[in-house]
């Protein structure tokens, strides 16, 4: 019983970190959207740079294919943005469209974990997902 409570406490800490990261993302995206709406290119570039410097790492991977078949086309189909690591860690996972851009809202998720716990998806609303997609679109996922 004590082990279960300890794991739940650690997940609570990781969940709290995930939502702190999400709030930071929402603030950065709000700055970006305000700069875009005002037509201020300098402010837009500064907001994009802040977002790009926020991530610890950005990775992609290709899709599934049949062994002996045509193989992977080399086009990435998924992305991962690591926001923080250690205990706790937070990342964004999502799908990419044919143009190597974050695709739909239903394919993006925020995940968190603590030491020796599995990655756990955060429960998000539509506005949260929209912010994650806007954030992810500031990164380049192509070749």
| 9 pLDDT above the threshold of 90 | no
With respect to residue 143, please indicate whether it lies within any of the assigned structural domains.
no
Dist. CA 22–CA 99, nearest whole Å:
26
Is residue 141 a part of any domain in this protein? no
Q: Are 110 and 92 in contact (CB under 8 A)?
A: yes
Higher pLDDT, 71 or 132: 132
Q: What are phi and psi of 35, to 5 degrees?
A: -65, -40
* Contact (Cβ atoms closer than 8 angstroms) between residue 95 and residue 104: yes
For residue 85, being part of any structural domain is answered with yes
Q: What is the pTM of this model?
A: 0.85
- Would 142 be classed as within a structural domain? no
Distance of CA 79 to the CA centre of its chain: 8
Structural domain contains residue 16 = yes
Point out which residues pair with 33 in neighbouring strands.
Answer: none
Residue at token pair 């695709």: 103
* Residues, the chain: 143
The residue range of the domain holding 120 is 2-136
Asked if residue 116 belongs to a domain, the reply is yes
Q: Judge whether 54 lies within some domain.
A: yes
Q: Based on the structure, what is the number of domains in the chain?
A: 1
pLDDT-derived band at 86, boundaries 50, 70, 90: confident
Tell me whether residue 101 is in a domain: yes
Give me the percent of the chain exceeding a pLDDT of 90: 66
CA–CA dist 90, 82 (Å, integer): 6
């Amino acid at each position: 019983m004590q082990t279960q409570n300890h794991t739940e406490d650690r997940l609570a800490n990781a969940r709290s970190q995930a939502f702190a990261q999400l709030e930071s993302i929402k603030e950065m995206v709000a700055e970006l959207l305000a700069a875009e709406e005002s037509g201020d290119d300098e402010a837009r570039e500064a907001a994009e740079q802040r977002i790009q410097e926020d991530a610890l790492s950005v990775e992609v991977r290709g899709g599934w294919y049949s062994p002996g078949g045509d193989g992977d086309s080399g086009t990435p189909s998924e992305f991962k943005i690591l926001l923080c690591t250690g205990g706790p860690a937070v990342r964004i996972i999502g799908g990419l469209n044919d143009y190597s851009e974050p695709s739909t809202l239903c394919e993006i998720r925020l995940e968190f974990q603590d030491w020796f716990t599995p990655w756990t998806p955060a429960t998000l609303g539509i506005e949260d997902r929209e912010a994650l997609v806007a954030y992810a679109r500031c990164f380049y996922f192509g070749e």
